[in-house]
Structure 1
């Protein structure tokens, strides 16, 4: 019996971290998305009040429970997705998106369970990533349903787990997790989304294009924004000491220092340069300007060596 299940049976209120661990140990992605939505609603409505129990430190699994019916390949061995001109290509692209969203659910609950208590993050941190997790679960469900309409299903095609490789590499550093997962990988998703939408439209699949354009794309911008916001918060907190020797957010934090910290973090945890072209407008909407990422698109050989 898990700690959270024991608490429920004992009549104790389940904390958000306990609920997050229940989600992370649920292997079926459809049930995971459903459970995540239920927990998110309870947190946002106040039915779950405590983010965590300060007297209990719960261990977070190195790898969340995952479906067993999805064949995993190395990223280098993945077949080409195509350009959405054929049904087979559309199935492959949507399947890839479904798989990405399934990992996004786990990443969102993992950052809550792994770092929220450990880093003594404020309540708004939990709320932001609960909303992200709820969005990712909805994206997964909508895309999985669309994949069924395209005469396929999640698990019918191979996938890769590159996203979780980055999660493992940043499992001991919240600043790195925010930078790599939310300001590199999620921002890359913003870069390629307009092209993906255009490909579906050009292929005559307006239903998938509309889903991506009107629901998923604008919400993914807010997810990237959450990463930027909390990266800035941690940078400010690490250099600001309050009157009672407590750290706090400094509104006038030097942006140049924050950007330099971002560059150093990405170079340490992300191998190689960032890949242009960049979606400047979407990235701007998420809260970071070209000076955050353009210098990382053309690393010198010595910098590349140092980032490995």
Structure 2
């Protein structure tokens, strides 16, 4: 058996993170995800081998990076140029989403002694993000553009760096706050493409990407709950904790009141400013992310008489 066949999931995740080409990153990630899901990669990590993911994943050198404040306006998809800019922005976000998904596996899986279900959840998230990147990049090409044709910013990785030593914070900020914000804005983005006559991009977002992004937010909520419950009940079996963390009911605030208060504390410590409505309550609820989690963190809208 070759060394590659004996590779653990964390070792494979680090290979993805060290791959600069985003198309190869997506292809490699899909291959590794299938091996893990099918049982061809058996171990999440070596118990006695310490591996450190890169401080910053390898990234393409042909994408010009600028400060978020210097990014040009994307427009409302009414022109080809605006549609190209919007899809380019989405492609860039998905390229970082691939890295973020593999990074949480490589950086925290062993460190926090997470159960197998954690690895499987984020392997599936990573595989989805790779597919989203590939599909959106192909759509961008159909719009006579390509990834790297326009500037981009790396704000998503800034918050990943800020939460690189705290899994609770990483889950709260990247996989709850940012993922949920994506759910808030996607319906408007879909409408813009439709109104601009681009039904192909609208369908891709609506039928493929949007429903899968709901499951990604759900993974963040689930494992935030798990860590809080495990901290409070260290003697409880992993199976019971995973099952309890997977529950989402109308009584969520009562059952998980301490967890929700912890979420508020973590977000206030690691996220600048309040969360901004309007919120996509339907999609958030589908992810198990109920209003009591995020409404206390929101800026109140002022009604002008």
SS in structure 1 at match of 2:228: helix
Please name the residue that 1:32 is paired with.
Answer: 25
SS in structure 1 at match of 2:241: coil
Establish whether residue 74 from structure 1 lines up as the match of residue 75 from structure 2: no
2 CA distance for matches of 1:46 and 1:122?
Answer: 15
1:192-243 C-alpha deviation (Å, 9 max, x unpaired): 0000000000000000000000000000000000000000000000000317
Q: Report the CA distance shift for 1:11/1:44 in structure 2 as closer, same or farther (over 3 A).
A: closer
Unpaired segments ≥5 residues, structure 1: 1-7, 300-308
Q: Report the CA distance shift for 1:10/1:194 in structure 2 as closer, same or farther (over 3 A).
A: closer
Please name the residue that 1:61 is paired with.
Answer: 54
Displacement of 1:93: 0.3
Please name the residue that 1:304 is paired with.
Answer: none
SS in structure 1 at match of 2:209: helix
Q: Report the CA distance shift for 1:210/1:57 in structure 2 as closer, same or farther (over 3 A).
A: same
Confirm or deny: 8 A CA contact 1:237 1:248 kept in the other structure.
no
2 CA distance for matches of 1:187 and 1:16?
Answer: 27
2 CA distance for matches of 1:266 and 1:85?
Answer: 36
4+ long deviations beyond 3 Å? 8-12, 250-254
Of the three residues 127, 150, 153, the one matched with 1:157 is 150
Number of residue-to-residue matches in the alignment: 291
SS in structure 2 at match of 1:249: helix
Q: CA RMSD in A?
A: 1.8
Displacement of 1:163: 0.1
Confirm or deny: 8 A CA contact 2:169 2:270 kept in the other structure.
yes
Displacement of 1:288: 1.4
Please name the residue that 1:118 is paired with.
Answer: 111
Unpaired segments ≥5 residues, structure 2: 246-253, 301-305
Displacement of 1:255: 1.1
Of the three residues 105, 111, 114, the one matched with 2:98 is 105
1:90-144 C-alpha deviation (Å, 9 max, x unpaired): 0000000000000000000000000000000000000000000000000000000
Q: Report the CA distance shift for 1:194/1:247 in structure 2 as closer, same or farther (over 3 A).
A: closer
Displacement of 1:254: 3.8
1 CA distance for matches of 2:159 and 2:2?
Answer: 36
2 CA distance for matches of 1:70 and 1:134?
Answer: 22
Establish whether residue 90 from structure 1 lines up as the match of residue 83 from structure 2: yes
Q: Report the CA distance shift for 1:186/1:50 in structure 2 as closer, same or farther (over 3 A).
A: same
Confirm or deny: 8 A CA contact 1:15 1:53 kept in the other structure.
yes
